[in-house]
Structures are given as C-alpha cells and as structure tokens.
Structure 1
Amino acid sequence: MAGERFELEPTVQALLRDIGIAPPVVLRRARLPADLFARRPIELSADEYYRFWTALEVEGGDRSLAVDIGRAISVEMFSPPLFAALCSTDLTAAARRVATYKALMGPLRMSAESGQGLTISYTWPTSAASAPPPLLAVVELVFWVALARIATREPVRPSRVTVANRPADLPRLEEYLGARVRTSGTYSITFGTADASRPFLTENEAMWRVFAPDLRRRLSDLDASATVTDRVRAALRDTLPAGDASIGAVTSRLATSPRTLQRQLRQEGTTFQGVLTATREELARHYLDVEGLRTTEVAYLLGYGDTTSFYRAFRAWTGVTPQSARRGTPEKALLGAPPP
C-alpha cells in the first residue's frame, strides 16, 4: 500500500460535530492541514489516516467514543460505505458489497464469510508507521451493528465480537453491542443466520445502480496505480491466514498465471519468494506487537505449519528470536516450549 491514498468522507466533519468534538482541534493534533475538509477529494496517506483517528481518540478523552460514533451514524450521513450497505437486500449482501470497495475507504482489508451466520473480519497493512488506532478498529465493528439496526429497525445484536486489544471502555461497548467482547488476535464481528438474512427496509437497487459505476471506476483506478508487488502483498495478506503461501493461491486471486506473475515481478526487481519473505517478516513484526497473540497463533497467521518453522525463519530474517522481538515478554509464555 505504499504510496496509496485514501478518501476521508466529508461527512466525518459533521459526525465530529454531532459527537461534540471540534474538527479543527483534531486536525491540529493530527498534524494535518487546517483546510483539509475544504478539499475535494479529501485524500490521506495510510500514516495520515492513522494520525487522524489517533488524534480523535485522544480528543475523546475518557468517553466511549466508538459507542458515541455508533449512535451518531444515521441515514442523513451520505457516505459510500453507508449508502452501499443500506441499498443492499440484507446484512450479508451489504457486507459483501462493502468488502469489494473497502480498499477505497481506508488502509485496511475486509472479508465477509457466510456459513453459520456472517463473520466480518479486518486485516491492516503494515506499511504504515504504526498499528491501526484501536478506536478506528472498534468503530469498524460498531458500524455493522449500527447499520443493521438502522436498516432493519430491529435491535440486532452480534453473536460474537473479537478485538486485538481490550478497549478501555469495555463495559459500555458491550452494553451497546449487546454481546461480550473477547480479546483475540483479530478484529471481527459475527451475526447469527437470522440477523444476517433479515431483510433491509432500506433496500434500493435502483439507486445503487446509479451509484455503483463511480465506485467501480475508482476501484479500477486504484488497482491500476498499484504495482504488481503491492498487489501480491495484498493477496498474501488474505491467503496466508488460510494457510496457503503458494504462488498458485496468489495468481488465482490476481487472475494471472505463475509464469506471468514471476515475469512481472522480475521487471520490478523482485521475485515471488522475495515478496513472500518480506511480507511474512513485516506481518510477523506487526503481530508480535499485538497484545495477547501467542507465537503459535502468529505462525498460523503467517501460513506456517508449525511454530518451529516460524521460529527459524524469524531468526534468519532478524538475527533474534520472536520472544526477543517482543519487549519484556518471557519466552516460555510465547512459545509454550523452547525451540530445538
């Protein structure tokens, strides 16, 4: 995602005022231009995007800001993700639609898996200078609860919610969601089958057909501006947690052949194995900073079949062990047992 820029919706300014936070104060704290909201489009790099949400979290103080934002979301806020979702037939269709265009709306990846209900999960790029601000990650989850309640006019509650770090305002967040929030290595939210398929009263396919072409064009422009290396990295972030680090899994996602992909990567001065190794190392450093995520889980998220393989690879990359990279964390607590 290096070099990519993401649009901040102009309606964020109205949202800030609705929750009682002055936009100029947030911009100043985030070291962003004072006239940012006067620009069209409002484009930010990944680091700037993160700084904005970090500044907002600081300005929120001890408030449960994610809950306040969830309560402030309304149909009057015209924004692509909200509009795309509200026009859908149900929550499952909304999640799939938003997942397609999410790359336009921020430095993150979203997946929507249906089966026993609907699970929406988020992954974050490691090209930014820091991990995603906790507020931003939690707001992404709160959005879906707010959306479901607006669109169905029912008190929809998720069946499961996971976060990477325990929120300071956990009691109020759980009260708003109507569900227990568990600490895990990922940010995800799951809805039961009945709620995932509950009809949206706001469905409007005719309006969506008017709105969709512009989103498709913007997504095409974004894809065209990304290098092949960037696209491979993005694909690997999706395939690695599924345990597949093969070039075949990546070429399937990118609709190309292994031979063509290798040739394109050579033209950019790299190889598939080089991108795979760099992506794994980058993700490993990020995951090891996530509180509560064990090294066995990190190995799994990077597509390794066992912890020992990850341990050896990490030492080859960095010259240190995973537990050494994790400041102040005892080795046995991370690995469960010393490596051979």
Structure 2
Amino acid sequence: MASNPFIRALSLAGFDQFARSQGLDPNRMLRQASLPVASLHRPEDILSFQHYCGLLELCQQGSNNPLFGLEFGLYQGVDVFGDIFFLIHNTRTVGDALFELRANFSLYNGSAQIDLEVVDGVAVLSYQIDETTMAGLSQAEELACGVGMQLMRTLVGDQWQPEAVMLRHSPHADEFVYRKTLGITPTFSAAHTGLLFDACVLTQPLDCASEALHQLIAQHLSGMERLSADEMPGYVGQLLRNLLPSGRATIDRVADCMALNPRTLQRRLEQKNTSFQQLLDETRQQLVRNYLQVPTISLTQMAHQLGYADVSTFSRAFNRWFSVSPLEWCRQSGLRRQPLLFQNRLKDRP
C-alpha cells in the first residue's frame, strides 16, 4: 500500500448517474464497498482508497462490464478534479497545466502520484502507485487513464489522441473492445500506467488562461489539507463528524472506513500523541459549541447529532467537559436560547 491510503470523495463525481446507466443501484454498491452513501454529496470527505478500488471491482462484477473503470473515467473527465481543474486550466501552457496537476494531486489522492517526463521528444504522463495486488486496482488504473485522456482533450482539443496507452495489467476484455472504447489499443503489462504523446503538445498555449484567476484559486486551495499520513487525526475527526449522528462513531467503524485494523488505527494515533477517545471528545466539544450558537436546536437534537442515546448522557458528558451545564454555559457565554428547549434536560434527568 502507498504511504497514505486515502482519497477524496470527489473521486465519486458522477458515480450516481454512471452506476445507474450500468444497471446498478449506486447506494447499494457504496454500502457493499463499506463507503458512506452521504459522501456522494460531500466531495471533501476522505475515503479509503482500498474501499474505493473495491467499489470499482464490485461494480465491474455487478454490471458485467469488464471496462467499468475505464468507461467511468471517460464519463467523469475533468469533473473528478474539482477546483484543481480550474487551477491548472488557468496556467500558460498545456505543460504548465500538467506540472501544476502533478504538484497538487495529493490534495485529491494520497495513494497515487502523477508524473510527467519527456524522453526523446515523447511525453509520458503516468499514474503511479506502489500497490500491485489490491482488488480493483486495475479498474482504478484504467479509470485514471480515462480521466487523463479527457483532461488532455479538454486542454488540447476534442480530437486529441495519445500515441500509446500503457496499462500494468493484462486485458480485461478482447483488445478490440478497448480499441472501440479508446480509439487505440493499449499496451498491456507495461511498467507503468499512463499516456504517451508528442512532447510538442506541452508548449501549446491555453487560450483561457488567467494569471489573476490562477492566483485566486491557488490561494483558495492553500487552505485545503493535502492527503498526508501526518494528518491521521484530522481524517479521524472528519469521519467522526460524519458518523456521530448515526450513533456509529466507534473505533471499529472508523477503522473500517479507513480499511485499517482498530489496533493499527489506535497505534497510529498514539504516534501523533492522541487517542480515539480524545479525538471523539474533542470533535463532540467542537460540534456542541457550534450547536449552542443556534437558539432553535434543542438539547434532544444536540444529543442525537452527537451520537448520544439520550439527553441525560449528553448532559453528563457536557458537565465533564466544561464543568457547567449547557444552560449555564450559554449564560456565561452571553448566548440567549429559548427556555422551552431546555425542558428536555429536566425530563430526562435521572
């Protein structure tokens, strides 16, 4: 596995529509792959790359389409890059755009790398990952080639074709099926997955380039965390925020979402001088401060959103964190709330 096993939920761009076009129920497929259905609408979410590859494998089997990943990548095109596309599209040349993509790819995918090399007048745009045996990985690599081809056609022109498409694995279908889909027969069992093309394309200017817009988007993306192994506590916090309302914010559930063993997760958190319980408490404290700013949210609703079974348990936790009751905390903070919303606290008090 690569050093960081995560990918943004942006990788699911268009999945709902494409899966349905293949006769699949997208929500069912996501659940089977242990991916949260809600991530379809939260592109900033962090997902397990292993589970994502597993999703593609399940979809390939369920649709009986051996080129599911490739066709999905062609369908997604540049949508899969989100704001990163607007960053690279506002550089001066095609080459600048691809180098910008290489530099910022870790905002989107922590498990793979994009590289661009020029050898004897031939450019090689490659998708590199250390893993070789993960289920569904070949589907993900074909997807990357499909996305890469659509990216190049967006930058260069609709009729652009590579000189070669390289895939690390053996073909999933007859080669003529690949040729019909891509317009070219890939080179299989290659050293790397990627596209080969004439390097002169790299100097082609981008007509809509705007330096001002490029700087603006770069500033916006600078606040976005890269998918780095050092950010493990942040990933756990994000998953907790997503899982708490369902009452399933356990270490087993979070570890499953990350495709990790719970002990491995706890060990990695200890290496960052924290623990699952500490992150759970910190996440709940951050959320409850936000909830208390909204005068129309009742304690019952807060308890539910924080994953507590009842108000009494929530109130005891609140007192442990802040040494005061929620009502007293609001008074001390100068927040005015509707008194009736606190009656639930009295009803549920043991």
Shorter-chain TM-score bucket reads 0.5 to 0.7
Query: What TM-score do the two structures reach when normalised by structure 2?
Result: 0.54
From 142, 145, 148, the equivalent of 2:152 is: 148
From 78, 84, 88, the equivalent of 2:87 is: 84
Which residue number in structure 2 is paired with residue 59 of structure 1? 62
Which residue number in structure 1 is paired with residue 7 of structure 2? 6
Q: Which amino acid aligns with 1:16?
A: F
Shift of the 73–40 alpha-carbon distance from structure 1 to 2, 3 Å rule, reads closer
Taking the aligned partners of 1:75 and 1:50, their CA distance within structure 2 comes to 19
Root-mean-square deviation over aligned CA pairs: 3.4
Give the conservation status (yes or no) of the 8 Å contact 2:165–2:187.
Answer: yes
Report deviation, 1:81.
4.3
Taking the aligned partners of 2:225 and 2:135, their CA distance within structure 1 comes to 24
Q: Which runs of 5+ in 2 are unaligned?
A: 233-270, 272-350
Which residue number in structure 2 is paired with residue 191 of structure 1? 197
Give the conservation status (yes or no) of the 8 Å contact 2:14–2:76.
Answer: no
Taking the aligned partners of 1:69 and 1:205, their CA distance within structure 2 comes to 32
Matches within 5 A, 1:1-340: 5-9=6-10, 11-13=13-15, 16=18, 19-20=21-22, 21-39=24-42, 41-62=44-65, 64-73=67-76, 79-106=82-109, 107-115=111-119, 116-126=121-131, 130=134, 133-169=137-173, 170-183=175-188, 184-219=190-225, 222=228, 224-225=230-231
Shift of the 187–67 alpha-carbon distance from structure 1 to 2, 3 Å rule, reads closer
Taking the aligned partners of 2:8 and 2:96, their CA distance within structure 1 comes to 23
Query: What TM-score do the two structures reach when normalised by structure 1?
Result: 0.56
Report deviation, 1:136.
1.0
Report deviation, 1:100.
1.1
Give the conservation status (yes or no) of the 8 Å contact 2:88–2:100.
Answer: yes
Q: Which runs of 5+ in 1 are unaligned?
A: 227-267, 269-340
Give the conservation status (yes or no) of the 8 Å contact 2:94–2:202.
Answer: yes
| 3-state SS of 2:61 partner | helix
Name the structure, 1 or 2, with higher relative contact order (CA <8 Å, separation 6+). Answer: 2
Query: Identical aligned pairs, as a percentage?
Result: 15
Report deviation, 1:192.
0.6
Taking the aligned partners of 1:176 and 1:206, their CA distance within structure 2 comes to 38
Structure with the greater alpha carbon radius of gyration = 2
Query: Between Structure 1 and Structure 2, how many residues are aligned?
Result: 227
Give the conservation status (yes or no) of the 8 Å contact 1:158–1:178.
Answer: no
Report deviation, 1:159.
1.2
